[in-house]
Amino acid sequence: MEKMETTNPFMKVDFAKKNVEVEIMFNEIKLYTDLYLDEICKGKATPYICALKDTKDGRDKIHQFVINCLSNYTDFSISDALMEMERGLNPNMIND
């Protein structure tokens, strides 16, 4: 008796291609985050994330925070994520 193929050939996923697409999306988020940071750091509204962005490690933390927010909260924008991070870092903005 012949073994029947149980997978649907139309449902095959090219994971290498998907990984590249995800990497492109993450890079675009990082690029737009950097553009937002450049713009909002011209003022004095976000001193904590503006100080954080000046180091490689700090910028990486900001990027990761924004990616996590956009992944977990579908109604968040990059600016919402940045303000949420500032609220968490800035003792003057912490709500009880």
Average pLDDT, the chain: 85
What residue ranges do the domains of the chain occupy? 55-91
pLDDT of residue 96 exceeding 60: no
Neighbours of 14 (CB within 10 A): 9
pLDDT of residue 49 exceeding 80: yes
Amino acid 73: pLDDT: 87
Tell me the per-residue pLDDT of 30-44, one tens digit each, with 9 for 90 and over: 999 999 999 999 888
Tell me the per-residue pLDDT of 4-37, one tens digit each, with 9 for 90 and over: 555 555 566 666 677 788 889 999 999 999 999 9
- Residue 46: CB partners within 8 Å, gap ≥ 6? 40, 82, 83, 86, 90
